Structure 1
Amino acid sequence: MTTLHATRGANFWSRRPVTRMDLAVGAYEDISSADVKGFTEALVDAMPGLRDHRCSIGEPGGFIMRLRDGTYAPHIVEHVALELQTMIGHDVGFGKTRGGGVPGEYTLVFEHLHEQVGLRSAALALEVVQRAFVGTLDGVGYATAELASLAETSKIPDLKQRICCGITGGSGRAETRAEMLRQGFDCNELIVEVAPSYLLQAGLPYSRSEMAVIVDANIVDVPSRYAERDRAAQLLSVVADGVQRNGVVVVPAKEWEIQEMVRDADCRLAIFSTRNNITRRDKKLARTSVWVDGRRIVIEHLGDRIEGGWLQDDINETAQIAAATAVFSLKQLQPAATGREA
C-alpha cells in the first residue's frame, strides 16, 4: 500500500465520499484468482455476501464469475473492502479499480459511510486477500468486529459549507478571482480556488456552490495519466458536481467534453473565448457566450448581445474574459433565486 486517504466531497471518481488506496502489487501482478486452487471457495465461504456483487455483467453473481475466470488482487481487494462494510450494515456499493502510471501499480476507490471505517476496510481487505492467496483464510470475524467498533465512534461531520463560486483550472485561478472582484463580484469570502491536484487527492472542499469557473483545461500539477485530455476533463468537471441544480458553470469554448459533463450535471453552461472564434457547436449547449472582438468584450445571452466593456492592457486576458462571464452569470442567477428569471 503506497497511498491511503479519504475524500469528503464530490471527487474525480464519484459524487459520494470515497476511500482511495494505491497499491504496488509486486509478485501478485501475475497471479490471478483462477491460478490458486480453492481461492474462490475460501473467500466466498468467509464472505457469502460476495455472491450478490454484480461486477461488470451487472447481475448478482457477476463477481463470482470473475473470480472463477481469473481476476487479480487489486480488483478483489476493492470488492472485499465493500463487503466488509456491508457485513456491518453499511449500505455501500460503488467501487473502481484502475491501473496506475507504471506496471504493477493500481488505484482503488470505494464508497464509505464512515471515513475511519472506510480507511480501515482498505487495510483489512488487503490482509484478507493476501491470506486467501496463501491459503490461510479461515474467516473475517476479527475484521468485522473491529469495523463494527469503529462504526460506533463519532464520524467526521459531512461537508456543510455552501459557497458562491468555486474556481479551478491549470493556471490563472488567482488572477480570475481577483478580476471577478474587480468587476463587481461581491462574494469575496465565498470564492474558493481549488487546484486540480487538490480535487484529485481530496475532492471538493465544500458541499455546494451557486456557480463554478473552469479557467482552462491544461493541468500540470497531477500525475501524467490524469492530465490526459479525457481524464483532465473529468477531473475539472468535479466542480460542476458541487454546483446547485440550474446553477452556472463557466467553461472555455472548444472544451466540448467538459461542456457535455457540465450539462450532464444539470448545470447551466456559459462559455468564453479570448478570440472571436466561438462556433455553432460551442453555442449548442450554452445559454451565455462571451468573446473578444478586437479589444471589445461581447456577451451573448439567450440570443441577445450585450456590451461587456473593453480589455485592460495590464491584466491577463483569459482572467478578464472568464471573470466577465462569471460576473454576468451571477447577475442572471440572483434574480432567478428570488423568482425573477433573467
Structure 2
Amino acid sequence: MKSHNTVRNERAVGPMDVREATIYRGPHLYSQTPMIRIQLDLGTLEQYPTNRLPGFAEKLTRLLPRLDRHGCCYGEAGGFLRRMAEGTWLGHVAEHVALELQNMVGADVARGKTRSVAGEKGVYNVMYAYQDEEVGLLAGRFALELVGSLLPPELHGVSNLEKIAVSSLDAFDLAGGLDVLRSLHRDRAFGPTTASLIKEAEARGIPWRRLDSSSLVQLGYGKHLRRIRAGCSTLTSEIAAEIASDKDLTCKLLHEAGLPVPRSFIVEDVPDAVRAARRLRFPVVTKPVDGNHGRGVNIGLVSDEEVTWGFLQA
C-alpha cells in the first residue's frame, strides 16, 4: 500500500530537486519493510560522487559519528564509510542520513536502498525505513538539507523540499532539526500497552501499521486483519473497555474473581493522597481513577513530596 504526498513537477532550478515523495505502508516492489521513497534528481551533482567532494565525508561523519556503524552493502560496521571513500552518490548518502537521524531521536530503523531510475540519468529513488510516517518524512527532508549544507557553495540548494515535509525551522541546522524530530517522535510515541503489543506482533512476524495520530493500529492484512487501540481490539466489547478504564472497578472485579490486586485508596486532594501513601507504606504508585495509555501514572514514589507531585500529575 502506498500514499503519494505530491505529484511530479518540471525540473526546478538548483543542483538537487525533489520530484516526489511516497510512503509505502506495507510490502511493496522494493522490500517487505514499510519505507519512504523520495525520488531525487541530482542535477549537476550526478557528476560529484563523494570521492570527488574533498572533505565532505569527514564533515558528515563528524556531525553523525554513528554512521560508522552502518554496514551498507558490505554487511559490517564501517561499510558505509568505505562506500563514501570509494565514491557513492548523494542520494545514497541521504538514505543513510535519514536513517541515522531517526535513530538519534529514538527510532529503531536500519533498512534502506537507493536505486537509479531507468532511462533518467541522475535520478534516483531514495528509500529508507521508518517507524512513524511524520518523523520519517521530516528526517528525509532534514537529511537532504544536511547533505546540501556540506557541499561547496556553488553546489548548495535543494528544490521542492516541501514535497517531503514542511519544516518549522526558518533555516536548517542539525541541532535544531534534531530538537524538532525528537519532539515529534515523543509526541507521536505509542503508549506502553500499544508499544508492547506491537513489539510482540513484530516478534511473531505480524505486519502492522498506524492508522491515526493516536494509537489506532492495524495488525495483519486481509481476512486476518485486526485493529487495536491500546488494550482494546475489534473483538473487545464496549462494556469491557469501560470497566478497564475504571481502575477502582477493575480492581474490585478482579479481587472478587480471586485474583491478587494491590491495596489502593481513592483520594481527592494532596493531604488525602499523602495520608493514603503513609498507610500503604512507601514506595507507592499514583494514577488517575479513570484513564488509559499509562497517562498520569507514576511509580516508585518514596516520599510525601513525590506523592504530592504524583497526585498533581494524575
Given the two structures, how large is their TM-score scaled by the length of structure 2? 0.49
Given the two structures, how large is their TM-score scaled by the length of structure 1? 0.46
Which fold has the larger relative contact order, with Cα–Cα distance below 8 Å and residues 6 or more apart in sequence? 1
Between structures 1 and 2, the one with greater strand share = 1
